[in-house]
Every structure is written in C-alpha cells, then in structure tokens.
A and B are shown apart, each in its own frame.
Chain A
Amino acid sequence: MTDRSLDISGKGAPNWAERIGIGHLLLVAGLVLYPLGASDFFLTQIGAYSLIYGMLALSLMMLAGYGGMISLAQITIAGIAAYTVAIFGENNTGVLGFGWPWWLTVPVAVFFSAIVSSLIGWISVRTSGIYTIMITLAIATATFYFAQQNYSIFNGHSGFSGIRAPEFWGVYWRDPVPFYYLCLGVAAIAYGAVLYGRNSTFGLTLQATRDNQRRMRAIGYDVVAHKIFAWFLAGMIAGFAGVLLVWFNGRISPGTIGVSSAINVLIIAVIGGLRHPIGPFVGSVIVILMQTFAIDLVGAQRFNTLIGLVFLLIVFVSPDGLLGLWRRLTPRMSQESLRSGP
C-alpha cells in the first residue's frame, strides 16, 4: 500500500518517494510491532481508539482538505452505522435487535452511513465553508436530541448495550490484540484509499472545485455531484469507524454522538492538520493521549480546558495543525511532496 500510493504523491523526483517511503515503512513496521511492547490498555484504549477516531477525523479531513467542506456531522454518520449494528445485529437491551450476522450488518451499516452522509452533503452542498459548519452542526445536534428523545428506534437516553464484536476464524475480534490489528487494517485501507483517491481523476476534480467552483462549473463539471460523491466516500470511512466504535464500546447511546464528540473529531483533525491524510491520525493520538493522561496533570475535571487551550493555541499559531508546524520547523523538506492544496 505504501509504495504505490506514495509514488503517485511524490512529484517526479524518485529520491523523494524513496525517502517518504522509508518513513512510511518504518511507521507500518512500528504499528505492526506495537502489540509486542504494549499493554492491553495501551493497545485498545490508546491504540485502537486512536485509530478509530483517526478514521473519523480522516473522513472529515478528506471533505475539508480536498472538498473545502468542513463537517461537524462525522460522528453522527458514524453513529448511524453504530446504531444500525445495534439494531440489526444483536444487543441485550431487549429492544429491536434482529440478530443478523455480522457480515450482513456491517455492509448494511456502512451503506446506511454513506447514504446519510450523502443526504447531509446534499443538504449542505448548496452552501460552502462556514455555512457547512453551521448546517452540519445543526444536523449533528438535532440528531443527538432526536436519538435521546426517541425510544422506538434509538431506545432513548440509554441507547443499546451488549453489542459484541464478531467471532470467526476462531478469534474473538474484541480481544485486545485482534481488535488492534482489525482497527489497524481498516484504518490503513482507509488511509491508502484516501491517498490513492486524492490523485485520481475524481480527487483532482474535487480539489479543483474546492479552489474555484465557478470555473469548474463553467468548464462543464457537475460540481454538486462531485461534492455529494465525496460525502458518500467520507460516509463510508466514517461508517467503518462507527462499526469499530460500537464493537469497541460494546454499546451506543446518544452521549456517544453528542455535540462534544462532534467537536472532538474536528479538534483532532485541526490539531493534526487538514492537508495530509496522516494528520488526522497524528491529531487523534495526541488528543487521546491528552484525554487519557491530562486527568493526572490538571485534575479530574479540567482536562477539557486543557484540550480547548491546546486547540486554541494550534489554531492561533499554526492554521495547518501540527503537520504545518512540523513543515515550518523543517523547511528543508519541500512542501510540494506533502501538500495537496494550493
């Protein structure tokens, strides 16, 4: 996955591709070998959880970085997948739960997510930039309140619990090591797909639309269709993240898809950087480490203040997130190889 996608991203000079390729290979090796040295806690609560939130932020990064559409509804889209798994699969809440096998619920869940995502895209696509933030935030909040009030579908405040990850090939996939590899695999595929997609005809068209929508429309591209398709793809990524999230937690309730989670995804993406698909994962590791260990630093309650302040700092200092900061500190590494935007 690494070599091929990076060949495309490197601009001509083969030694560049090589160098980044080595970096990627080291990263892959590190991630694959990570379970050898990590405790169960670090494997799931930090490792797998970061990968899941990284995927969510990746779906946002893809929309924002390549499409210029900043969405706050990614957790809502993931929540649709999670609720679908709970409703169509098995749960021990005694409400709904059709008991479908996992290989049926997962595609259905991801499909639902992608459809809902396309609908959100269709609603918000007539507007752009800041308006998209407003509309998606309104959608995310409304969905949260709806899930909380509605008992016939979402089982209200308590949601669904007792959702088990599947068991096949003799492996229970929620055990720490298999779950970590499962998340790693899915995240790597999503990451590779975004890297590949951004240089595809579709990806380039999308980026061109972001840069100058009127010109693209004048040339004859169906701008709206391209944007909605981007939402569809982002919805698939968020959907997979949602499925993993519900297996990880074993439960889904409105709290999971609340406004703070929605904002969390944005924070992760912005802290990491919205220009390269690796950004969301970097941001995710940092934010989740902060969330986990800030309690020891600043006391039990005030860790949100810390995260908020770090976020403010990043927004003030480096609009491109940590990746942008990194790039500024190492000017030798030319921007061209990583940068996709103007």
Chain B
Amino acid sequence: MSTPVQQAGTDDLAAGRVSARQVWIVAAVLLGALLAWLIFGIWPAWLNAVLISKKAFVSAVLNGLTLAGLYFLVASGFTLVFGLMRNVNLAHGSLYLLGAYVGYEIAERTGYWLLGVAGGFLVLAVVGILLQIFVFRRLEGDDLRQTLVTIGISIVAADLMQAAWGGTTYQFLLPEWLSGAMKLPIITAIKSNGTSVFLSYPLYRMLVLVAAIVIGVLLWLMLNRTRVGMMIRAGVDDRAMLSASGVNVHVVFAIVFALGAGLAGFAGVVGGSVLSVAPGEDVRYLLASLVVVIVGGMGSITGAAIGALLIGLAEQVGLVYFPTYGVVLTFVIMVVTLAIRPQGIMGRAG
C-alpha cells in the first residue's frame, strides 16, 4: 500500500531531503516524549519550583483533558449542524443546560443516574428534531435569520428554564460505582522513606474522558463508514448536489440536528455531574463551543476534537498557573488561529 504522500516521502528520502511532513512527525514525537516524561517521569527539584508541583501540573492536565472531553461532546454537535446546515445554532448552550435539567429530573425521580443520561440524550434529540421541523425548515436558505432565531430561542429558553428550575444550583447524585477516586500509575513525589506517592484522580472524571473518546470514535466511524455518514459528508460539501442526487435532505438534516442536540443533552447530564447545573452554564458552554469550533474548523469532527483539546487544556492549565488571565489564553489561541488560518485548523478554505 503506497499512498501518494508516502511516495513523496520515500522520494525525498532517496534524494536525501527532509520533507515538511517528516519535520512535523519528528516534532510531534519529540513533543510527545516531553509530555510523557513530564507526566510519568520523576521531576527534578527545579522543575517543581517552576511549575508549582508535579501534582498540580498533572492534575491540571488531567482536568484539562476531562474538560476537553466535555467540550468535544458539546462542540461536535454544534460543528456538525453548522457544517451541514450553515446555521450557527446559538441556542446550543441552552440545549446543553436543558439536557442537564432533564437528566437531573429523571435521575432524581427514578433513582437511576444512567436513565438520566439516556433521558438527557433522547429528550434533547426529540427537541432537536422539533426545532428542525418547526423552526429551521421554515427559514431554509436564510442563514442570518436562522441564527437570529436561535438567539431568540436561547433568550426565551434561558428565561423559561429559570422559571421552571429557579436560580439554584443542582448537584447530581452519582451512583456508588462511579464515585470515589482511582490511583493512577503516575508518581507525583517520592517520600523520604523511599515509598512513592501515586496520583489519585476522581474515577468519574476519568470515565467522562473515556466516554468522550468512545463517542468521538463512534462519530468518526458513523461519518466515515456508514451510508448516513456519507450523506452527511456529501451534504457538508455540497448541499444542492446531495438533494439533486435523490437524497431527502430534510431527513439528513433532521438526523444531524437530533444527533447534535442529543449530544448536547448528553454532555449536559455528564458535565452537570462533574460540575453542577445552574443558570449561566448555557453561556459558558456556548462560548466553549464557539471557540472550539472557530479554532478547530467549522464542520469538522476532527477539528472539534483538536479545538476541544487545545481549549480544555489551555483553560485548566491557565487556571493553575495564571488564574486571572486564563480566559486570555483561550482568547489568544482563538486570535492566533484566526490570524494564521481563518478557516480553523481543520477547516477548509472558502
């Protein structure tokens, strides 16, 4: 199997040149090695002095990864909807918050947290389909009005949710088997008597990260290996052509919207269990989705993953090392991306 890229690589090798791709690979390997050493190695004293402590650093990175997982879940729906329908769903944060509330209610009434998670996904998927049918289909082809409508919806939704659930903060009760901490094979320090101290990290957060990765892989498989995924990708590239070739675009739109809204609802329950559920979270996650998608590239799942990783890590690491300027770091990432690649890291030009 010899793809053109590999071909070019071997040609370069034969000529004794170094291709840009090889430089990138070497850089990535070096960076990976540095990260691995930072996380698994035992830190010398000077590094502890510079970065506060190894425990703080690794915890920040892990928290960043967890947050990135959450951001990815929220932003992947946002970016899919955008890529396919060219509409910026500024009510996406509201979907997140609604999912969290719905999941909370279900979990509270039935006593099963998992039911809450499933309910958050399903109810929001239905809400997404309803939105698509009753709102967006009516304004098809008018991106600006669609966007304005989502702003109106987010205002009304925020107000009604406050009416229903009030301004109090809700806390999910995690099931027994999810709470508690796990010991990671990461040595944070070595005691004077020679025993090593291992880092412990909340089990649930680790699971959030795993869930995000699994869902990311599933999404990727769905998009790249199934017929529906093929239609969605075709729709992202050329909506008119897709409908001309006999596909019922509205069904594809509805599927994507259901998936996007459902993922937001799912993330609402999962994320609400990590942190808490309160008014204002909708704006937070809307901002996160916006920045993740702007950085990662609109309409790309891989881009959403990269963007989420960057923003999640920047936010948590920033929180530890420069507390009041953490937001600025996020912002700088966004501006730099826009300056260098206006379409986002994985986005396509035009």
Contact = CB atoms under 8 A, between A and B. Distances in A.
Given A134-B290, A135-B338, A138-B291, A311 B152 contact: yes
Interface stretch (A32-40, A245-253, A298-306, A330-338): A298-306
B88 A133 contact: yes
A278 to B, nearest CB: 20
B290 A137 contact: yes
Given A146-B331, A315-B148, A304 B323 contact: no
A21 interface: no
B155 A308 contact: yes
Interface centre among B88, B145, B152, B290 (most CB of A within 10 A): B152
A270 B156 contact: no
B290 A138 contact: yes
Interface residues of B, number: 44
A123 B335 CA distance: 7
B144 A142 contact: no
A263 B151 CA distance: 8
A131 B299 CA distance: 13
A312 B338 contact: no
A266 B342 CA distance: 24
A70 B144 contact: yes
A308 B148 CA distance: 11
Given A130-B86, A151-B324, A308 B335 contact: no
A20 B340 CA distance: 48
Contacts of A266: 148, 151
Given A130-B143, A312-B149, A315-B145, A135 B294 contact: yes
Q: How large is the interface on A (under 10, 10 to 19, 20 to 34, 35 or more residues)?
A: 35 or more
A84 to B, nearest CB: 19
Contact of A150 (B293, B294, B324): B324
A309 B151 CA distance: 11
A123 B294 CA distance: 12
Nearest to B143: A130
B283 interface: yes
A145 interface: yes
Contact of B287 (A142, A152, A305): A142
A149 interface: yes
A130 B324 contact: no
B294 A138 contact: yes
A311 B327 contact: no
Given A149-B327, A150-B324, A151-B324, A305 B152 contact: no
Contacts of A315: 145, 148-149, 152
A316 interface: yes
Nearest to A315: B148
B160 to A, nearest CB: 6
Contacts of A305: 155-156, 159-160, 163
15 contacts: A123-B338, A124-B338, A126-B342, A130-B88, A137-B290, A138-B334, A141-B283, A142-B334, A149-B324, A150-B324, A301-B162, A304-B158, A307-B155, A309-B152, A311-B152
Interface of B: 86-88, 90, 138-139, 142-145, 147-149, 151-153, 155-156, 158-160, 162-163, 283, 286-287, 290-291, 293-294, 298, 323-328, 330-331, 334-335, 338-339, 342
Closest 5 A-B residue pairs measured CB to CB? A308-B155, A308-B156, A304-B159, A312-B152, A126-B342
Given A127-B338, A263-B151, A316-B149, 18 more contacts: A129-B144, A130-B87, A130-B88, A133-B147, A134-B88, A134-B294, A137-B287, A142-B287, A142-B331, A145-B327, A146-B325, A302-B163, A305-B159, A311-B148, A312-B156, A315-B145, A315-B148, A315-B149
